Each structure stands twice: as C-alpha cells, then as structure tokens.
Amino acid sequence: MGIGRTVGIGDIPYLKLAACGIKLKLQLRGLYVRSAERKLTRLHVLFMHLLYLDDSGSAPNENEKYFVLAGLSIFEAQADWFARELDKLAEGIDAANPAGIEFHASAQYARRTAPWNKMTREEAHGVTKSVLQIVASSYDTARVFACAVEKSSIPGGGDPVAVAFEDLCSRFDMFLSGLRAAGDRQRGLLVLDKTTHETSLQQLTRDFRKRGTQWGSAIHNLADIPFFADSGASRLIQCADHIAYAVFRRYHVGDSQLFDIIAPKFHSVDGVIHGLAHKTASANQAQCLCPACLSRRMARSTTPQHP
C-alpha cells in the first residue's frame, strides 16, 4: 500500500485486516479509513485484481458429496459496473429499497424468506439466472474460478476447505503470473464472504502468512492476506455466492443449467480450463466429462509425445 493514486477497493464497504491486529474500517463512498493506531483520511493502494470468493456445500455434512469454493476475478475498476447491474436487478424486485435486496442463491432456491417467499419457483430461479447472466455478460477480463472437491477423494480425512482454498490461491496466482508475463504487473487480493467464518476459511486466513511461507515459491502475486467483506453489502460477494452455487449444483446433483450460463467465463488458456478444478479420484478424472477434466485430457491427447 502507499503509492500515488487514491482508489477504492471495489465495492467493499467494510474490511477487517486481521494481520498485525490492525482493524480498518473502510467506507466506500468517501473511502474514509479509520484505524486504532492512526487516522487516515484516504487509503492509497495500487490498482489490483480482486478475486471474490464464496463457498457452497457444507464441509462436514456427510450427505453432500461435494464442497465448492468459487468466485470472480475482476480488475478493481470494474467493481462499480457489477454493483450498478445488480442494483438495477434489485430495483425490479423492490423499487423502494433496492439496497435491501441481498441476492443469495440458496435462499432464492428455498423461497422461505422475503422477498423470495412471495415469488413462484420460476420467478426466484429467474433471479438466480439473471445474476449469473450479469457475470456472463461482464468485461472480457473478468474471469471465473472454482474448485469442486469430492470429499471422499481426499486422503486421510483431509479438509476439503483447505484443499479448495490452496488450489484457488495457486490458480489465481498462475493467472496473475500470465498477466504479468503479458505486461500487466498488477497484483491480486482475495476477498471472502465474512459469513464463511463457520468454516475453517477464517482459520486458514489467520494462518495465511505461515502458509504463505510454507508455499514458498508457489505464491508470488498476492498483495496481502485475504480480506473479509459483508455479503449483504457487497454485490461482488453475491456474484461469488451464485457462481459457487452453480458449480455445486453441477457437481453435486448433475444439474448444469446454471453452470452453463457462466461456463464460458472460466479462465482458460489454449482450450484448457485452468479456472476450474475438479478434485476427484484419478480413476474418475480419467473418465469424467466435466469441462475441467475433459479440457485437460484433450490438451494432453493433442500434445506431441516424445518417443
């Protein structure tokens, strides 16, 4: 932090910087910052790529085969566009208080709470699709990332949350390395839904510096530890929620209706979908027809083999 230009960090109204015990309150409109140690009137940060992440599926729930961590990488300056598009959608649901509408895919599916309980199943499903269509129609440089972990495939009762988190950090880092090689030297920041605190994500975050050391050479392009944002106030976290939900439906029940809307947005290079990982037993991977497994198999089959 700390050179030249004054910018916002997407649409994040509240960030809690856990490292070093420093708490920052960041209010979007005036970019007003307060800290216990010193008062700043502006926060100076580099422009950067932000990866908003949310999870779907419960890691300890034995009735669910999959745990998914997924989200959306955007260039910082694109955040306003997403916020405006989702605000417009919210105005169609509650014109008097669009800011009070929090898009939450599983709540829209369940239709137990307002305003979704006043909608038909088709209407609520239509809202979920509309959010995903906003993601699908966004900037070319906005990219979707996801890791679907089949829990039974993790050896020794490992933690699916940790597997997905490490995998996505690594994928995002590789994505940033690719941009850097093409001349874009911006770094990246992870932004997570703060309600994921019931999972071990927050613990992983607390360990991030240690884990970063442990990963050593693996992670080069992340600017800081991950941040937590309030999903109720961040339209980008709400997009991540829908992406995670769509990927979870694709792998958990084989319903690709929502997944197909965002499938073209996964980060890919030369036909290989690097933005999507399917963690399953290798025997399953060899036959799996999901875009992640299939694109890698096809790439291997067309790569000339040395004798």
From 3-11, 182-190, 199-207, 286-294, span contacting Zn ion (CB under 5 A): 286-294
List 278, 279, 295, 296, residue binding Zn ion (CB under 5 A): 278
Contact residues for 275 (Cβ-Cβ < 8 A; gap 6+): 143, 144, 145, 146, 171, 175, 266, 267, 268
Q: Map the footprint of Zn ion across residues 72-131, applying CB under 5 A.
A: none
When asked if residue 68 is in the footprint of Zn ion (CB under 5 A), the reply is no
CA dihedral defined by 254, 131, 24, 189, rounded to 10 degrees?
Answer: 60
List 90, 293, 295, 296, residue binding Zn ion (CB under 5 A): 293
When asked if residue 272 is in the footprint of Zn ion (CB under 5 A), the reply is no
Length of the chain: 307
For residue 171, which of 294, 71, 50, 274 has the smallest C-alpha distance?
Answer: 274
SS3 39: strand
From 11-19, 36-44, 47-55, 290-298, span contacting Zn ion (CB under 5 A): 290-298
Which CA distances in Å does 93 have to 21, 58, 109, 111, 176?
40, 29, 16, 14, 37
Residue 14 CA to residue 25 CA, distance in Å, equals: 6
From 58-66, 82-90, 104-112, 292-300, span contacting Zn ion (CB under 5 A): 292-300
Q: Whose Cβ is closer to Zn ion: residue 9's or residue 290's?
A: 290
When asked if residue 151 is in the footprint of Zn ion (CB under 5 A), the reply is no
List 178, 288, 297, 299, residue binding Zn ion (CB under 5 A): 288
Binding footprint of Zn ion on the chain (CB under 5 A): 278, 288, 290, 293
